[in-house]
Amino acid sequence: MHGTTKGEDLFNQVIVAMNNFELPFEKLSGIATDGAPAMVGAQKGLTALVKKEMSRLSLDPSDLVVCHCIIHQESLCAHSLKLNNVMTTVVSTINFIKSRGLNNRQFKELLSELESEYGDLVYHCEVRWLSRANMLARFYTLREEVRRFMEMKGGPVMELSDGKFLRDLAFMVDISKHLSELNIKLQGPNQLISSLLSNVKSFEVKLRLWQGQLERGNTVHFPTLQEQKPDVTTEYAGECAKLIQAFDERFHDVKNIQKELDVFATPFNVQPSDVPDNLQMEIIDLQNNNELKAKYHNLSLLDFYKLYVRAEDFPILRRHALKFASLFGTTYRCEQFFSKLTLAKTRFRSRLTDSNLENQLRVASSSLPANIRRLAREKQFPAITLGESRHAANMRLSNAAVIDFFCLFFHL
Cα–Cα distance, 407 to 412 (Å, whole number) = 9
Q: Roughly what angle, to the nearest 10 degrees, separates helices 332-344 and 354-365?
A: 130
**Contact partners, residue 44, CB within 8 Å, separation at least 6:** 6, 7, 8
Q: In this predicted structure, what is the pLDDT of residue 402? A: 44
Q: What per-residue confidence (pLDDT) applies to 283?
A: 95
Q: From start to end of 35-150, where are the E strands?
A: 65-68
- CA-to-CA distance for 364 and 296, rounded, in angstroms? 35
Q: For 16-27, what is each residue's pLDDT tens digit?
A: 999 999 999 999
In the chain, DSSP finds a helix count (H) and a strand count (E) of 22, 2
Residue 125 CB burial class (10 angstroms; 0-12, 13-18, ≥19):
exposed
Buried residues in 350-364 as b, exposed as e (16+ CB within 10 A)? eeeeeeeeeebbeeb
Q: Over its length of 412 residues, how does the chain's per-residue pLDDT go in tens digits?
A: 888 889 999 999 999 999 999 999 999 999 999 888 999 998 899 999 999 999 999 999 988 999 999 999 998 888 888 777 888 898 889 888 888 888 888 888 888 887 787 888 877 666 555 678 888 899 999 999 999 999 988 888 899 989 999 999 999 999 999 999 999 999 988 889 999 999 999 999 999 999 999 999 999 999 999 999 999 999 999 999 999 999 998 888 888 889 999 999 999 999 999 998 999 999 999 999 999 999 999 999 999 999 999 999 999 999 999 999 999 999 888 888 888 888 888 777 777 888 888 888 888 778 788 788 887 877 765 555 545 555 555 555 455 444 444 444 444 4
CA distances from 281 to 258, 266, 290, 310, 313 (A): 20, 16, 16, 15, 11
Q: What is the pTM of this model?
A: 0.81
Collapsed DSSP state (helix, strand, coil) of residue 154: coil
The angle formed by the CA atoms of residues 278, 283 and 289, to the nearest 5 degrees, is 150
